Amino acid sequence: MKYDADNPLISGQQASIDWIYRYEPVLDFLLENQLTRSRILDYGCGNVGLGSVFAGEYFGIDLMPIQPEVPNLKPINGVHPFALQDSFDVVCAMDVMEHVPVDLREDFFVAMRRIARRYLILAFPTEGAGYQFDVETATFLNPGGTLPDWLLEHMAMDHPRVEAILDLANKHGFQLINHVKNTHRLMHYLGCMGLFVGGRMKLRFLNDIHHINRLHQAETSLDMYRSILFLRANG
């Protein structure tokens, strides 16, 4: 079993299945690379973010003021994310890039090069399967009705292309370590249902999601909702 109930770095706090699925690869990366005690920033974390799976200390920044719902989240409020001057060993931006207008994506990487000292983890729904899943989700969530803001933004902006994001990453001093695909259609729909789990049931979900993620990484023919890029800062 990957995640043990006795590990104090694993959060047992109730969290949505969607967030557990989204952040499990980050937790895996932190543990595998012994980065859990480093300075970590969750860029675009909302009020929880990485704390849905990780019990260690981390910082968070977002466009809206953060009101932490987990005790280990240290909010950085009053600063626009692009203007942040502090630096961190690990920066993750999970499902952020699709909310950044195309003409501002270079500015995003300028900021990332300044604040990500060692590693940058990016996750985003991709052009193609990601867009298709969002169209299906729009019908699934509320056919003919009002859609949530996050989905409206997805539909209004260009879904990122992996090649274009990697070009920008390389231009601004990042090297690709690993590219994995994440979230099969069924798991995406399950996440959109707004289900929450905690305690031992959450630990079971977390381990099952880890196993599913590894299987999906090996099966390249499956259509997956998001890509996750693990990048190392050069120099």
* Half-sphere CA count of 66, side-chain side, radius 13 A: 27
| Enclosing H/E stretch for 117 | strand 116-125
Reported pTM: 0.91
Q: How far is CA 182 from the centre of its chain?
A: 10
Task: Say yes or no to pLDDT of 137 above 80.
Answer: no
Q: Does the residue 31 lie in any domain?
A: yes
Q: What percent of the chain has pLDDT over 70?
A: 91
Window from 12-16, 69-73, 82-86, 106-110 with minimum mean pLDDT: 12-16
Window from 31-40, 47-56, 138-147 with minimum mean pLDDT: 138-147
For residues 17-38, average pLDDT = 94
For residues 142-157, average pLDDT = 70
In the chain, which ranges are continuous DSSP H helix? 17-32, 105-115, 129-141, 149-156, 162-171, 185-192, 199-218
Q: Does the residue 22 lie in any domain?
A: yes
| 68 secondary structure, DSSP code | -
Q: Does the residue 231 lie in any domain?
A: no
Per-residue confidence (pLDDT) for residue 15, from 0 to 100: 93
Per-residue confidence (pLDDT) for residue 231, from 0 to 100: 98
Contact 151, 225 (CB under 8 A): no
Task: Say yes or no to pLDDT of 102 above 70.
Answer: yes
What gap in Å lies between CA 35 and CA 65, rounded to an integer? 27
Task: Say yes or no to pLDDT of 143 above 70.
Answer: no
Segments forming the whole domain that contains residue 171: 15-225
pLDDT band per the 50, 70, 90 thresholds, residue 190: confident
Q: Does the residue 6 lie in any domain?
A: no
User: What are the CA-CA distances from residue 215 to residues 208, 211, 221 (Å)?
Assistant: 11, 6, 12
Q: Does the residue 60 lie in any domain?
A: yes
Task: Say yes or no to pLDDT of 145 above 70.
Answer: no
Q: Does the residue 94 lie in any domain?
A: yes
What CATH number should be reported for the domain holding residue 45? 3.40.50.150
pLDDT band per the 50, 70, 90 thresholds, residue 126: confident
Q: Does the residue 233 lie in any domain?
A: no
Across all residues in the chain, what is the average pLDDT?
A: 89
Q: Does the residue 1 lie in any domain?
A: no
Higher per-residue confidence, 190 vs 34: 34
Total number of domains in the chain: 1
Q: What angle do CA 122, 192, 200 make, to 5 degrees?
A: 85
